[in-house]
Structure formats: structure tokens, C-alpha cells
Amino acid sequence: FAQEVTLRLHQFLPAQANVPKFVLDPWADKVEKDSGGRIKIERYPAMQLGGKPPELMDQAIDGTVDIVWTLPGSTPGRFPSTEVFELPFMMTNAEATSRAYWDIFNSKMKDTEFKDVHIIAAWVHGPGLIHSREPIAKLDDMKGKKLRAPTRIVNALLGQLGATPVGMPVPAITENLSKGVIDGAVIPWEVTTALKVAELVQNHTEFGGDHALYTTTFVLAMNKARYDALPDDLKKVIDDNSGADVSALFGKTQAGTDAAGRKVAVDAGNNIIELSATDVEPWKTAAQPVMDNWVVEMQGKGVDGQALLDEARTLIDKYTQK
Amino acid sequence: MILPRIVEWLARALAIVGGIVLGVIIVLTVVSVTGRALIWAGFGPILGDFEIVEALTGFAVFCFLPYCQLMRGHAILDVFTNMMGPTVVRAIDAFAEIVAAIVLALIAWRLTHGFVDKFRNGETSFIVQFPMWWAYAACLLPAYVSVATAILTSARGVKAALSGRDLLPEHHGME
Amino acid sequence: MSNLTLGMVSFGVLLAMVFLRIPIGLSMFLCGAVGSWIITGSTAPILGQLKQIAYSTFSDYNLSVVPLFLLMGQFAAYGGISGKLFRTAENWLGHRRGGLAMATIGACAGFGAICGSSMATAATMAQVALPELRRNGYSGALSTGTLAAGGTLGILIPPSIILVIYATLTEQNIAKLFIAAFVPGILAAIGYMIAIRIFVWKNPDEAGELKPRMPYRDRFAALLRVWDILLLFLAVLGGIYGGYFTPTEASAVGAFGAALIAWARRGMTVHQLRDAIFYTASASAMMFFIVLGAMLYNSFLALTQLPQEAAAYVVELGLNPWVVMSVILVLYLILGGPMDSLSMILLTIPIFFPIIMGLDYGLPPEELAIWFGILVLISVEVGLISPPVGMNLFVIQSMAKDVPTRAVFRGVIPFIISDVIRTAILVAFPAITLTLLRWVY
Ligand code: NA
Ligand code: NA
């Protein structure tokens, strides 16, 4: 079982963070095992091979590395269709939404926006929520709050809801929260443990009802030439560890790590505000212009935003009811 | 020769432009910080201040490169200079200038490709959403001027090595 | 040749190039680029990476403090801020043997409290103090050694560029690191003064004339005359700890304040402003080019797996945590000789941080991370003044062209010894670093 292929996997989080530990490592181990040791996947966490997180996609496209885990949203404007899943009140649970994401990726994005790269999996994280120094129980509480947002869409959403979006890299959140440079951050529970958010703010606003406030899309992407050059049997190993089921599993696994983050906040005696489906209605109304603007914006990029939006909703509902 | 003088002038002028950009960064940050502190009074931070500072810093540093090259401001270790004798030193310096010219040309050439990528793929910044190719395009001129400057200093280095006279400014062009 | 061997060979090649006076940034750039080419067997990876890495390195938000602190240092020099600080310190210490050198250290400490860059502090204070020291009969060795070491107070006393970079690499709280750096920074200044004391005791002919002893009334009057500098100091630190701005933004506020003081004092001429910009341009480009070279060399080293193997090896040895800590710090002292400090921290923290965090020093994780950060800061700072490669040595030597390199190296040795002793004390007693932090938080 001579080793034939070494693939370099590059990503931005430290090796012991949730996604590398529970999603990427198990996947890489499985690929190595399924190939009978003929594929070796070298793992480079925390941008060890250089560059900044937004450069990851180009590193995979240009062959600087072989595989990357990245957020299409870290390079705004390049993968506009993925944003349909990041729009407010779209996602239900990570597993179903990831399935819908893969379906639409496969039918609409594979040969267009992602034509320069081979996508192994496409998934989303668990329900995103607001963590803040002062309690946010109703829409009015958002006025004048300085909040750090993860994506372009959430930035637009915050502006729409009356808050001030503040841009900063993820590691800076902890420090700026502790000093009050920002009043809060919008992230899923899973990330709060690493950033010590529950120690720094006492309020967490969860959005009840069928749809979560927002989510963020991810892809596991491979250099195209590298994939094409694999011998057929090894290509099959990669293919068997790609696609809809793998994406759904990734989404489910990542969302599964949310509970630990929430528990930290509960144990700390923090105030967890659970908005009911009725409470959320005014938020949905206020967020509507974000959807409308997005559809208009998509026209300029040659994407039928409304059709994409409708299809994504239908698919998410379909997979959620299963 | 008029060409070397144009290159020298450009290198100095770009350094001044970079300095002015630093001034802009300072004012922008102070205004943004003040606005953020006064949110209660209806003011606010400059939207996307963070990414604007990033783009401006990148441009400023590219603007500083030609001047640094011209004045030989790059850090070197000259402990063994005395032992090697002036002829050897001049030869090594000429060699280093040529290598620097090649590396700077490599950087400028790849930056051009980066610019083309950003121009084609429509990537924007995060909050203000200015096209990223703007930032790359702005850096192209200073990047190529740094190549021209390095070619100039290479020519001077070679001339110095051949003639046995010191024609390059001393290392560490800190005035 | 295995990848590990390639990594080690590259290290030798890098050192050889640096010793042959090829610019340091250029040497790292070439070793990194060529190394990646060899290891991947193709030019595509490195050419792809180069499309973005120059722009993304030069536009790094955290590094934007570098040109701002350098410019601020220039404003401070031309606006008379550093001069006034020096006069004040002179009034307090000038009458002692070696007092002018001690005053330089004191003024450097004061300046270090508003400026986060070692190089900017060394260069700014050298502009004022170097002529004074030489005119008063201090030897070239003692003068340059004092200024090179005094400059490191720019990063030892918060705010500090190196701590910003450490915090970024390890995802730690920058403000907490600044607080923790405070007491060790003061200890550094005191340690340097003791080093000067011992140096002039051993070499009495190298310390110049004594200044007349000033009555305490005059000394406090001198302190009052630096009120605007103290105000800037309070505004910068108060802003950071009061949550008004980030430490990165503080550099812009500091530069703004220094410009205001310079303008209010006597105004800067257009000519001076131009020189300030030229200096900032040259020094910033130099630093950013080194960082760019280090980025490429680091990613090549990661590809060789040399850092990972080294970490695994240390863990495998199963040594006592205190031995591991000592080995790492001694390694820093040795590496700090030939290597540049910024590239050293970029190179090693990804390896050493996980090793240290995995060992038991009887401290909670955050305190351990902060304590280790301060120890790294001090080791890195030794790198800045340890021959043959040291950024501060370069800066000072370029400003004191009449002093031979060998004298500069001799002059800095007492300060390095002081650093080593202080490091040992801080390793043995983590409480020295952590008490203020525990008290504040
Ligand atoms: Na400082
Ligand atoms: Na050194």
C-alpha cells in the first residue's frame, strides 16, 4: 500500500477548534482509511501555509494547496448564489439546510460560480443568534447597538434593524467585547466557547419559530487539476466522501457542537432570551427589505434571485419535514 | 540622462503620497473613534473604517517601497563588511540589488495577476463593498516604480563594482 | 533529500545569505519561495500565493500600527517631546555616575509608554540623546548600547507591537497582555539602570562628566513641564482600557496627539514634515518587507513539517514543564542572535504556544497564555539587541556612524546580561507578571 498521493488541507482555525476536530479530521481520517493508506492528507490549521482566510479559495483554485475549508462569504461578490442560505430567517436546522444547499449547489452553482474548483461538500452551521452586553428582547433594543457581524448579509440585516455593524476579524471579537468597543456579536453558539463570549456578555437572544435568524455557508474545496489527475479508484474514494450525505453530516455535526457552547452560558447563569414565534414576527417584517434588496442586487449579477429564493425555501422545507 | 532622474523623482513623490495617506488614516481613525464614542448623541463610526484603513495601509506601504529601495533602507547585516574588503562588498551589493530587482519584478508581475483575478471575479470588501480590484489597481503603479528603482540601483551597483567607486548611498537610508 | 533535511538546510542557506549582507527580508523571501518550489515540485503554488500575499501582508490591519508609531516617533522628535522627556529624566538622574545614560533609559521608558514600536523609540530617543551622551564624554559603546537597549522599552512597556502580534497569533486579549507587561517593563528599565551602574563602575573612563545635582523642587518642576506628554499618555492608555478604542486605533490617536503637541509647541516646518515622512517610508518598507519574507519562509517551513516534528519531539521527551520552558527561552536567546525578532515570533509561536499550553504550570489557561506571552516578548526583545542581527543595533549604528560595529556589540552586552537575569526571575515567579492583572480584573 505505497502512499501515492499527499493532499494538503489548509484552513483558518486552530487544530483543536470544533470544526477541525469534529468535522475535518474525521473526514480526512476516513479518506485515508478508505484509500487503504494510498492517500495521505496533511493538515495545516490556523493559516500555517500563509495568507489570510479570504485567500483560501484562491489557494485551492491556483493549487497553492490541494484542499481548503472556507466561507464563500469571506470573498463578498464572488459566490452570490450561496448568499440565499445566509438571508435572514431562511435556515431551519443545519442538516436540512445543508441538504438544500448541496442540491442547489449541484444544479445551479457547480458549473457557474464554482467552475474553477472541485467542491467536496457544502454545508451551513447551526442557528445564529445575538450575544450582547445589554439584553435584546425586542426590535427596539437594537437601536444604536454596535454589533460585529459575520457576513455581508448580516451586516445589511443589522443596518436594517437599526444597529451599527462594526467590522473586525474574528480573534478581535473577544478583546473588543470585553472593553465595550462593541456591544455584542452575532455568531452561533458553537463559536462562543473559543471566543469566551459567555464570560464577556450576559445576554443571548435566541430566535424561536421555524426559522433561525441567519446561518453562514461553508465549502470544502479541492484544486480541480489535482482532483482530475487522481487515478480512477482514488477519485472514487474522494467521490464516496463527497456530496449530499457528507454535507448533511457536516452540518449536523457542526450544529451538534452548539449545545456545549449554550451550556457554558447557562452554567454561568447568563440571561438567555428565547423569543417566541410571535415575538419574532416584527423582526421578520423588519428584515424583509434585506431579501428584497438582495433579489434586486442579484439581477445585476445575472442571477434570478427570486427563483433561487423560492427554490431554496421549498427545498429547506422539504428536507426539514422529513 | 533624464530617465534616472524621473525614477528618483517618482520614488520620492510616492513616499510623500504614502505619508499623506498615513495622515488620512490618522484623521479617519480619530473621527471614527470619536463618532463611536458619541453614538448616544446621534453620531456614529465611519462605516467600514477597519477595511478602509487596511486598503489605505496596503497602498501606503507599496508607495514606500521605491523610496526604501532608492535609499537602500532594507535591513542588512554588515558585520563582516570590514573583513571582506570594499571590492567584494561592492560586488555583493551589486548582486543583491539585481536580486532585489528580480524579486520586486516578481511581486509586481504577480500583483498584476492578482488584480486581473479581482477584476474578473467581482470580489468586494466586507462592509463598504468597494471592489477589491480598486485596492489592487492602486498598488500597481508604486509596485512597478519600485521595479524601476531597483533596476536603477542595480545599474549603479554594477557600475560601482566595475569602477571601484562607491555610487550607491550607504545602507539604511534613515535621515 | 527529505523535507525535514530540506528545512534544516534552508536554515543554513538563510543564515549564509544574511551574513553575506543580502537584505534580510530578501533572503527570507528567496529561501521561502525557492524552498516551496522544491518541496511542491512546481512553481504554481508559490506563483499563485504571490498574487495576493504581498497586498494582504502590506494591508494587514494589526500591522498598520507600524507606520503610525514610526510617524508618531518622528512627530515626537521634531515637536520636542522626546527632548523634553530627556531633560526631565536628566534633572532627576544627571548627577549620578553614568547618570545621563540612566536618564536616557528613563526617557525611553516614558516614550515607550505612548509608543508601541521598539525601532521608533530607539530612533527617536537616539536623535536627542546620542549627541548629548557623546558631547558629555560617554563612550561610543556605552552610548549606543544604552540607546539600543532603551529602545526595547518601546515594546517592553505597553503598548507594544510585538504583543499585538502575539495576541493575534494566539487569540489572546490584547488589553490584558498590556496590563501584564507593565510591571516587567518597569523592571526592565530598572535592570538597565543597574547594568549601566555596573558598566561605569568597571569602566570609569567610559562614563562622561557628572551634571550638577538638582534640588527636588526643580525636579518636580521639570515633571510638570511635560504635562502635555503625560496627558497624551493618559489619553492613549485611558482610551484603550476605557473601551473607547482598540489598541490598534490607539496608534492613530497617539500619532494625532503627538502631531498636535508638535504643532502647539513650536510647529513643524514643511521641511521637517517631509523628512519625517521619508524616514517613516524607509523604515516601514523595511519592516513590511521583512514580514513578507517571513510569511513566505514560514509557509515553506510549515510545508517541511519541521515545526510540527519539533513540537512532537518535545512532547515525546516528556520533560518537566519548567525544563521545557527554559529550553524554549534559551532557544529564543540563541535564535535571537542571528534572527530578526519579528520573523522569529511569526516562526515559533505556532510551534511553542501549543506545547506550553499543553503543560501544567499551576496556572489557569488564560494566565498561562499571558505569562508565556510576556516571557516571549522579553526573549524577542533580547533578539532586537543581540548581535549580530538586531533591528535596534542597526538603527542606532546607522545614527552613530563614527562608532565601530564591534563597539556597539560590546556596549550592549551588559544590557543583555540584565535581560537574562530578569527573564530568569520572571520565569521563577509568575506572580510578578500576573498580580497586577489579577488585581485589575
Ligand atoms: Na510601548
Ligand atoms: Na538578534
Structure confidence by residue, pLDDT tens digits, C219-252: 999 888 888 888 887 888 788 777 788 777 888 9
How many domains does chain C divide into?
1
User: For C246, which of A8, A59, A181 is closest by C-beta distance?
Assistant: A181
Q: Is C235 domain-assigned? A: yes
* Within-domain flag for C12: no
Residues C50 and A117: their CA atoms lie apart, in Å, by 19
Check whether B173 has a pLDDT greater than 60: no
Residue B37: the pLDDT is 86
Residue C13 lies in a domain: no
C2: in domain: no
Q: Which domain holds residue C229?
A: 22-34+55-440
**B2 φψ region: left (φ > 0), alpha (ψ -120 to 50), beta (else):** alpha
Q: How high does pLDDT run on average in chain B?
A: 91
Residues A88/A149, Cβ–Cβ less than 8 Å: no
Q: Please give, rounded to a whole number of angstroms, the shortest distance from the CA of B37 to a CA of chain C.
A: 6
Burial classification of residue A38, based on how many CB atoms lie within 10 Å of its CB (0-12 exposed, 13-18 middle, 19 or more buried): middle
* Distance in Å, CA A240 to ligand 1 centroid: 55
How far apart are the CA of C233 and the centre of ligand 1, in A?
10
Residue C132 confidence (pLDDT): 86
Distance from the alpha carbon of residue C61 to the mean position of ligand 1, in angstroms:
18
Q: What is the predicted pLDDT for the residue at B174?
A: 34
Alpha-carbon span B3 to B22, nearest angstrom: 29
| Residues in chain A closer than 8 A to B50 (CB atoms) | 166-168
The predicted structure's pLDDT at residue C338? 61
**Pick the residue with more confidence: B142 or C226?**
B142
Judged against a pLDDT cut of 70, whether residue B175 lies above it is answered with: no
Ranges of chain C with pLDDT below 70: 168, 337-343, 346-347, 389, 441
ipTM of the complex: 0.94
Q: Which residues fall inside 5 Å of ion ligand 2, going by CB?
A: C 336, 383, 386, 389-390
What CA–CA distances, in Å, run from C17 to B92, C23, C144, C338? Answer: 10, 8, 26, 11
Residues of C within 8 A of A44 (CB-CB) are 302
- pLDDT over 90 for what percent of chain B? 74
Task: Return the H-helix or E-strand segment holding A132.
Answer: strand A128-132
Give me the residue from A55, A178, A181 closest to C52, CB to CB.
A55
State the pTM of this model: 0.91
> In the numeric block, which cell numbers belong to residue C99?
547618570
Q: Which residues of C touch B140 (CB under 8 A)?
A: none
Sorted by where each begins, the domain ranges of chain B are 2-163
Residues of C in contact with A168 (CB under 8 A): 246
The parts of chain A modelled with pLDDT lower than 50 are: none
Distances (CA, A) of A284 to A148, A213, C31: 20, 9, 55
Q: What is the pLDDT of residue C339?
A: 63
Q: Specify the pLDDT at position A263.
A: 96
* CA angle A4–A6–A9, rounded 5-degree value: 155
| pLDDT beyond 80 at B45 | yes
